Chains A and B, each alone.
Chain A
Amino acid sequence: MVPPSAGSTLMTLCLLGSSALAAIVNYDFNISWVTAQPDGFSRPTIGINGEWPIPQITANVGDRVIINVVNGLGNQTTSLHFHGLYMNGTPHMDGPVSVTQCAIPPGGSFVYDFHINQPGTYWYHSHDSGQYPDGLRGALIVKDPDSPYKDQYDEELVLTLSDWYHDQMPGQLARFISYANPTGAEPVPKSALMNDTQNLDIKVEPGKTYMFRIINMGAFAGQYLWFEGHTMKIVEVDGIYTEAAEADMIYLTAAQRYSVLITTKDDASSNFAIVGSMDQDLFDAVPADLNPNVTGWLVYSDSAPRPTPALVDEFEPFDDFTLAPYDKLPLYTDPDYSFELRVEMNNLGDGANYAWFNNITYVRPKVNTLYTALTSGNLATNPAIYGDHTNPFVLEKDQVVEIVLDNMDPGKHPFHLHGHAFQTVARSEEEAGDYMYNETLPAYPMRRDTVMVRPNGNLVLRFKADNPGIWLFHCHIEWHVASGLIATIVERPLDLQNTLSLAGSPYASPNSSALAIPTSHIEACTKQDISIAGNAAGNQDDLLDLRGQNAPPAPLPEGFTAKGIVAMTFSIVAALLGMAVIGWYGNLDRKDVK
Chain B
Amino acid sequence: MPDVFAVPIFFIVFRECVEVSIIVSLLLSWQKQTLGSDPAINKKLRRQVWYGCLAGLLVCFIVGGGMIGSFYGLHIDKWGATEPYWEGVFSIVASIIIAAMGAALLRVSKLQAKWQAKIHASFDAKDATKASSKWERVKAWTRKYFMFWLPFVTVLREGAEAIIFIAGVGLGLPGRSIPLPVVVGLAAGAVVGVILYKGGNFAPVHIFLIVSTCFLYLVAAGLFSKGVWFLESGAWNKIIGGDAAETGSGPGSYDIRQSVWHVNCCNPYINGGGGWGIFNAILGWQNSATVGSVVSYNLFWLVTILTFLGMAFNEKNGRWPLMKAKTVDRKGSETDSGSEKDGGIAYPEKTAKRDTETVTEVQSTKS
- Give A contacts to B, CB under 8 Å: 179-183, 285, 346-347, 349-351, 353, 556-557, 559-561, 563-565, 567-568, 570-571, 574-575, 577-579, 581-590, 592-594
Contacts and interface: CB of A to CB of B under 8 A. Distances in A.
Nearest to B221: A575
Interface residues on B, range: 35 or more
Contacts of B109: 589-590, 593
B112 A567 contact: no
Interface stretch (B60-68, B162-170, B175-183, B250-258): B250-258
A578 B260 contact: no
B303 to A, nearest CB: 9
Interface in B102-120: 102, 106-107, 109-110, 112-113
A589 B109 CA distance: 8
A560 B250 CA distance: 14
22 contacts: A182-B251, A182-B256, A183-B247, A183-B252, A285-B242, A347-B252, A556-B251, A559-B263, A559-B264, A564-B289, A577-B305, A579-B214, A579-B218, A582-B210, A582-B217, A582-B308, A583-B210, A585-B309, A588-B312, A590-B203, A593-B109, A593-B110
A582 B304 CA distance: 9
Contact of B203 (A567, A588, A593): A593
Nearest to B108: A589
A384 B251 CA distance: 30
A585 B305 CA distance: 10
A567 to B, nearest CB: 4
Contact of A557 (B217, B218, B262, B312): B262
Contacts of B253: 182
B305 A578 contact: yes
B315 interface: yes
A5 to B, nearest CB: 40
Nearest to A571: B297
A110 B97 CA distance: 72
A561 B257 contact: no
A347 B251 contact: yes
A574 B302 contact: yes
Contacts of B262: 557, 559, 564
A180 B239 contact: yes
B260 A563 contact: yes
Given A578-B221, A585-B311, A179 B106 contact: no
A586 B264 CA distance: 40
A586 B210 contact: yes
A180 B252 CA distance: 8
A384 B218 CA distance: 55
A411 to B, nearest CB: 15
B240 A575 contact: no
A585 B256 CA distance: 40
B305 to A, nearest CB: 5
Contacts of A350: 256
Given A182-B240, A182-B251, A563-B260, A574 B202 contact: no
Nearest to A564: B261
A578 B305 CA distance: 5
B214 A583 contact: yes
Given A347-B251, A567-B294, A577-B301, A586 B261 contact: no
A587 B312 CA distance: 11
Contacts of B302: 574
A422 B110 CA distance: 87
Interface of B: 102, 106-107, 109-110, 112-113, 202-203, 206, 209-210, 213-214, 217-218, 221, 239-240, 242, 247, 250-253, 255-257, 259-264, 289, 294, 297-298, 301-302, 304-305, 308-309, 311-312, 315, 333, 337
A285 B112 CA distance: 63
B206 A586 contact: yes
A349, A568, A583, A586 — most chain B CB neighbours (10 Å): A586
A566 to B, nearest CB: 9
Given A559-B261, A559-B263, 15 more contacts: A179-B255, A182-B251, A183-B240, A563-B261, A564-B262, A578-B221, A578-B301, A581-B304, A582-B214, A583-B210, A585-B106, A589-B107, A589-B109, A589-B110, A592-B337
Nearest 4 pairs between A and B by C-beta? Answer: A564-B261, A182-B252, A347-B251, A351-B256
B297 A353 contact: no
Contacts of A557: 259, 262
Contact of B206 (A567, A581, A593): A593
Contacts, number: 125
Contacts of A183: 240, 242, 247, 252
Nearest to A578: B301
A590 B247 CA distance: 51
Nearest to B336: A592
A584 B337 CA distance: 19
A588 B256 contact: no
Nearest to A559: B263
Contact of A180 (B217, B240, B260, B337): B240
Nearest to B297: A571
A571 B294 contact: yes
A578 B304 contact: yes
Contacts of B251: 182, 346-347, 351, 353, 556
A570 B214 contact: no
Contacts of B264: 559
A111 to B, nearest CB: 44
Contacts of A589: 106-107, 109-110, 206
A561 B261 contact: yes
Given A560-B263, A582-B213, A588-B315, A574 B297 contact: yes
A556 B249 CA distance: 14
B308 A581 contact: yes
A157 to B, nearest CB: 41
B178 to A, nearest CB: 26
Nearest to B261: A564
A559 B287 CA distance: 9
B289 A567 contact: yes
B257 A351 contact: yes
Contacts of A583: 210, 214
Contacts of B311: 585
Which residue of B107, B218, B294 has the most chain A CB atoms within 10 A of its CB atom? B294
Given A182-B247, A582-B106, A349 B256 contact: yes
A30 to B, nearest CB: 39
A184 to B, nearest CB: 8
Contacts of A563: 260-261
A568 B261 contact: yes
Contacts of A588: 312, 315
Contacts of A587: 210
A179 B260 contact: no
A577 B214 CA distance: 11
A585 B312 contact: yes
A353 B256 CA distance: 12
Contact of B301 (A181, A567, A574): A574
Contacts of B257: 179, 351
Contacts of A567: 260-261, 289, 294
A555 to B, nearest CB: 10
Contacts of B255: 179, 351
A582 B107 CA distance: 11
B261 to A, nearest CB: 3
A590 B206 contact: yes
